[in-house]
């Protein structure tokens, strides 16, 4: 085929049909809903039934802080996928096993260090948010149990990364499914003391997280080591089989992903710190806002996964016509879905907040601010889809550098200055600080658009 014929073919490309994109979307959406968002929503719902602003605030703050730890575990898991998957593609199965054993030991060591740091530093973590000694005494047992659960989360994610690297996506789905069921059941029983279980209140939620990841880790260990997987890949967990060069390579592969994910998680921690002077009720409302935002944003999260693999399939041929068409279609579909959810959420914001918290006082600010922030959500949608497209184009560096620069050099200083403005209205101050985060996401979008324009 001549160059002219190739150019004609590319220029006539229209990307995937809307129907095909939606076929890719629904499995990702269901996965994000059932395996990731639903357990968190149910946990907040149960904790809301305790009808305590203090307890709700503690739960929200701990979730924000520990989300950074989760992103580190996810980054190591993705690095494991890349490294072990490389050898699996070459059919060097023994090297796959060695890559996994190295990754598992790295996850155990780093997970242990992170877990110990959170466990021992719990008091000072709460002090950052100006918690009273009374609240710290309530929250310390909760945080320490969650810290132990973090260790098992690192272990679990190492196994999931290995399974995905050998193209086994079914077992990770089953593991997350089992984990979600175990968590919701344990959460309900241990918070309220049902079915003969002790009533532990807030601590019951932390124990449920621990049971979830211990169960998932045990299931993963049994599957890998007792169903023949270890024999095929010659997995040897002895310390003398560790390779310094492979460990360094794993860390090098994982670091950009960890930084990318952790910096966005840190932005929410920073928002919590800035909202602390407004009062305990502001932190509780921030937890409610984050939950509402997460539920509304489910379609965007799923579409971000879809656009990543759509772009990755076209990038090899430099098929920018189809890539652009797919991005536009994904943005169109996600915008429509989120517009519907935002309209519903804004109109019924008060009822939704009361449903989540079971307490009118906890979500009073969130119910007023959510409709006002709805328009800003589309800015966040744009940066999420475009960052997913850049990852699909193997340009993770642009996403990482952009996020770090915007968060560190725009969002943190601007939001801090806004927090110093003497504003009497807690609602308006809450809105002003939170909106600076979305404006920062808009700056990220501008960088991503310029990057695609160059390509």
Backbone angles phi, psi at 414, to 5 degrees: -65, -45
For tokens 């929410």, name the residue. 268
In a domain, 8, yes or no: no
Considering the domain architecture, whether residues 347 and 251 belong to the same structural domain is answered as: no
Q: Give the C-alpha separation, 59 to 254, whole Å.
A: 29
Tell me which residue range forms the domain holding 307.
Answer: 13-37+279-455
In a domain, 43, yes or no: no
Considering the domain architecture, whether residues 96 and 225 belong to the same structural domain is answered as: yes
**Dihedral of alpha carbons 343, 371, 295, 383, sign:** positive
The answer to whether 263 and 402 have CB atoms below 8 angstroms apart is no
Q: Give the C-alpha separation, 328 to 237, whole Å.
A: 47
Of 187, 221, 256, the one marking the end of a domain is: 256
In a domain, 274, yes or no: no
Considering the domain architecture, whether residues 156 and 220 belong to the same structural domain is answered as: yes
| Torsion region of 276: left, alpha or beta (phi above 0 gives left; psi -120 to 50 gives alpha) | alpha
For tokens 């997970």, name the residue. 111
Cα 20–25–28 angle (5° rounding)?
145
Q: List the helix and strand counts (H, then E) for the chain.
A: 19, 0
What letters, b where the CB count within 10 A reaches 16 and e where it falls short, cover 63-94?
bbbbbbbbbbbbbbbbbbbbbbbbbbeeeeee
Considering the domain architecture, whether residues 244 and 361 belong to the same structural domain is answered as: no
> How confident is the prediction along the chain (455 residues), in pLDDT tens digits per residue?
444 333 333 334 578 888 989 988 888 888 788 777 888 889 988 998 888 888 988 999 999 999 999 999 988 988 888 888 888 888 888 888 888 899 999 999 999 999 999 999 999 999 999 888 999 999 999 999 999 999 999 999 999 988 888 878 788 888 988 999 999 999 999 999 999 999 999 999 999 999 999 999 999 999 998 887 777 887 878 777 778 888 898 888 889 889 999 999 999 999 999 999 888 888 888 888 888 888 888 999 889 888 887 887 777 667 788 888 999 999 999 999 999 999 998 888 888 888 777 766 677 788 888 888 888 888 999 999 999 888 888 788 899 999 999 999 999 999 999 999 998 898 999 999 999 999 999 999 999 998 887 76
Q: Give the C-alpha separation, 64 to 140, whole Å.
A: 15
Considering the domain architecture, whether residues 241 and 286 belong to the same structural domain is answered as: no
Q: What is the DSSP string of 392-455?
A: HTT-HHHHHHHHHHHIIIIIHHHHHHHHHS--S-HHHHHHHHHHHHHHHHHHHHHHHHHHHHH-
Considering the domain architecture, whether residues 63 and 33 belong to the same structural domain is answered as: no
In a domain, 273, yes or no: no
What does the pLDDT read at residue 5?
Answer: 39
Considering the domain architecture, whether residues 300 and 431 belong to the same structural domain is answered as: yes
Considering the domain architecture, whether residues 317 and 395 belong to the same structural domain is answered as: yes
Considering the domain architecture, whether residues 148 and 251 belong to the same structural domain is answered as: yes
**Token digits of residue 258:** 């960890």
Domain count, the chain: 2
**Token digits of residue 344:** 């519903």
In a domain, 455, yes or no: yes
In a domain, 335, yes or no: yes
In a domain, 7, yes or no: no
Considering the domain architecture, whether residues 307 and 351 belong to the same structural domain is answered as: yes
Considering the domain architecture, whether residues 32 and 53 belong to the same structural domain is answered as: no
In a domain, 350, yes or no: yes
The answer to whether 41 and 295 have CB atoms below 8 angstroms apart is yes
Considering the domain architecture, whether residues 390 and 430 belong to the same structural domain is answered as: yes
């Amino acid at each position: 085929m001549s160059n002219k014929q190739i150019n004609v073919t590319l220029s006539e490309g229209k990307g995937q049909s809307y129907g095909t994109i939606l076929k890719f979307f629904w499995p990702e959406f269901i996965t994000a809903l059932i395996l990731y968002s639903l357990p968190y929503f149910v946990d907040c719902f149960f904790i809301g039934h305790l009808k305590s602003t203090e307890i709700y605030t503690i739960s929200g703050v701990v979730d924000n802080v520990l989300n950074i730890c989760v992103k580190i575990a996810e980054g190591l898991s993705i690095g494991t996928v890349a490294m072990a998957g490389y050898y699996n593609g070459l059919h060097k199965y023994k090297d796959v096993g060695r890559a996994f054993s190295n990754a598992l030991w790295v996850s155990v060591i780093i997970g242990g260090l992170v877990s110990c740091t959170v466990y021992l530093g719990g008091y000072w973590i709460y002090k950052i948010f100006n918690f009273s000694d009374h609240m710290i005494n309530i929250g310390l047992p909760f945080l320490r149990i969650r810290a132990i659960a973090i260790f098992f989360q690192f272990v679990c994610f190492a196994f999931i990364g290995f399974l995905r690297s050998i193209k086994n996506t079914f077992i990770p789905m089953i593991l997350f499914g089992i984990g979600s069921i175990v968590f919701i059941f344990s959460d309900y029983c241990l918070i309220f003391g049902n079915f003969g279980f002790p009533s532990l209140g807030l601590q019951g939620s932390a124990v449920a997280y621990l049971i979830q990841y211990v169960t998932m880790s045990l299931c993963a260990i049994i599957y890998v080591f007792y169903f023949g997987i270890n024999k095929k890949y010659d997995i040897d967990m002895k310390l003398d089989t560790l390779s310094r060069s492979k460990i360094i390579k794993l860390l090098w592969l994982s670091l950009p992903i960890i930084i990318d994910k952790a910096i966005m998680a840190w932005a929410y921690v920073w928002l919590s710190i800035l909202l602390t002077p407004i009062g305990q009720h502001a932190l509780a409302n921030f937890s409610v806002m984050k939950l509402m935002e997460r539920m509304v944003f489910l379609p965007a999260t799923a579409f971000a996964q879809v656009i990543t693999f759509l772009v990755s399939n076209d990038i090899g041929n430099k098929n920018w016509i189809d890539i652009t068409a797919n991005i536009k279609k994904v943005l169109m579909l996600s915008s429509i879905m989120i517009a519907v959810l935002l309209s519903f959420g804004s109109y019924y914001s008060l009822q939704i907040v009361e449903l989540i918290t079971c307490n009118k006082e906890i979500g009073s600010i969130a119910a007023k601010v959510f409709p006002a922030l709805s328009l800003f959500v589309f800015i966040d949608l744009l940066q999420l889809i475009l960052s997913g497209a850049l990852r699909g184009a193997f340009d993770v560096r642009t996403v990482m550098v952009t996020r770090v620069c915007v968060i560190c050099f725009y969002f943190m200083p601007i939001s801090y200055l806004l927090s110093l403005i003497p504003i009497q209205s807690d609602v308006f101050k809450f809105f002003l600080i939170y909106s600076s985060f979305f404006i920062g996401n808009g700056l990220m979008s501008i960088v991503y658009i310029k990057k695609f324009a160059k390509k």
